[in-house]
Chain A
């Protein structure tokens, strides 16, 4: 099967700045893929090249097998992009916006799908409202609707939940999960790493324009073995023998970083030996945020 997205040795230079340096990624059809990285890592530049908003200095990008430069009409038809910026055309209502966007993709009569989109995005009541009068969250949902008017097989969401409240964020993820279940390939960039961990099957991490990690989410979580133990002791005093393991101390207790689960027994033995009383104890696995920070610091 043709990959949904194929990126080969893509570089992008803005004057002196090397925004992307030889990025290669392949995303299969039906995947939920995460593209992570700190600000300025090159995520938006890569998405812009994918969408034809920017032109790569070197390398090639294909969407559903269509080169974004040589076969740009076919590539753009296969792609729906939700831009990061909250942009809208103030001259039009929500329905007009979606109808016009359908027309750009060559679809004349799209009312049934537009009605369905309005329903799923909870915008039916606002269909005839001018875009200027919508809240930020509603404008964000219209942007998602615009990206989906032509039912693209590949959907790219560039930080779609930035500045969105918790309730809306949850409903958006529910909707995007549904799209993925229906067969759409989803590419997501986000700064909310717990979301990426929960949603994405595979993840690529970018730093300074280069891919520094590229694997399944499960494998990335196993990259750094070990666990954390949070202890609340009475009295609030950590035995000296455990101090080398201390990662952080707060009113909530002592956070100890362990190499593996086997060390938990040593910690307990040390506490017993010191006569410390455990009030609360929690064993935690490193999450994606932890992995992300370690990878970024390691490079």
Chain B
């Protein structure tokens, strides 16, 4: 366990030492989204009865921050270690593939949660938040950051150059996040777009997370939880196999 704990602690320190860049910057980005979209659309959209657009937007922004930062943590750490060569420091010691996986995963979850909590904390100044089902909030924050942490490990292992990782981020993570219902309820979309959104696993993370705040969502939180948990298990199995075989880590 000491090996696992040390690797997790190292990964924690790695982002916490540069928290202005890794925590405060994403929180500021979420605040800017809230100010721009919240101010522009506050009187035009009421996504759920009795819930103001700004209040609806905040959980979406918090979840977006959780997802993007969890992904950024594991992917950038692995990518940078591979590029600079210091990945040998974790490949040479007797760390099992499970310790390797869970340490990177847990650190990604931790950064995701810290960023999400930061967004909620700062936006609480501007918007009154309700926590109707706090356990769902926590469950979806954990599941969502877990999936993104695992995807980050896959992207970090797979990418050999920084532009490959950027492509993963810009052409997969960003579109799926933005089109997941962070800024809108999918009921406001045309039928085809609604159907396509149901194929996006990020939608279930955001919708389930938001359900925890308002007790209302576009789909049942149980369905969302089942889909997200299944994705997490499948991706974790794939990633454990990749690490165990040394995929693009050990030649």
A residues at B contact (CB < 8 Å): 14, 48, 51-55, 72-74, 76-77, 79, 81, 83, 85, 87-92, 96, 100-108, 146, 150
Contacts and interface: CB of A to CB of B under 8 A. Distances in A.
A104 B86 CA distance: 14
Interface of B: 2-3, 5-7, 9-10, 13-14, 17-18, 81, 84-86, 88-96, 246, 250-251
Contacts of B10: 92, 100, 103
Nearest to B99: A104
8 contacts: A51-B92, A53-B91, A53-B250, A53-B251, A73-B94, A76-B94, A83-B85, A100-B6
A92 B3 contact: no
B13 A73 contact: no
Contacts of A105: 3, 93-94
A90 B10 CA distance: 12
Contacts of A92: 10, 13
A48 B89 CA distance: 13
Contacts of A88: 84, 86
A107 B91 CA distance: 17
Given A73-B94, A89-B86, 12 more contacts: A55-B246, A73-B96, A79-B92, A83-B88, A87-B84, A88-B84, A89-B81, A92-B13, A103-B3, A104-B7, A105-B94, A108-B2
Nearest to A72: B94
Contact of B91 (A52, A90, A101, A102): A52
A47 to B, nearest CB: 11
A107 B5 CA distance: 11
A8 B84 CA distance: 32
A107 B93 CA distance: 11
A55 B6 contact: no
B250 A52 contact: yes
A81 B92 contact: yes
A27 to B, nearest CB: 19
Contacts of B95: 104
Nearest to A79: B92
A76 B100 CA distance: 15
A14 B93 contact: no
A150 B3 CA distance: 12
| Among all A-B residue pairs, the 9 with the closest Cβ atoms | A103-B6, A104-B93, A87-B85, A73-B94, A76-B94, A54-B251, A106-B2, A87-B86, A77-B94
Contacts of B14: 91
B155 to A, nearest CB: 20
B250 A74 contact: no
Contacts of B89: 87, 89, 100-101, 104, 146
A182 B190 CA distance: 76
A96, A100, A103: residue with the most chain B Cβ atoms closer than 10 Å: A103
A101 B92 CA distance: 10
B251 A104 contact: no
Contacts of B94: 72-74, 76-77, 104-106
B10, B91, B94, B250: residue with the most chain A Cβ atoms closer than 10 Å: B94
A102 B17 CA distance: 20
A53 B90 CA distance: 10
B99 to A, nearest CB: 9
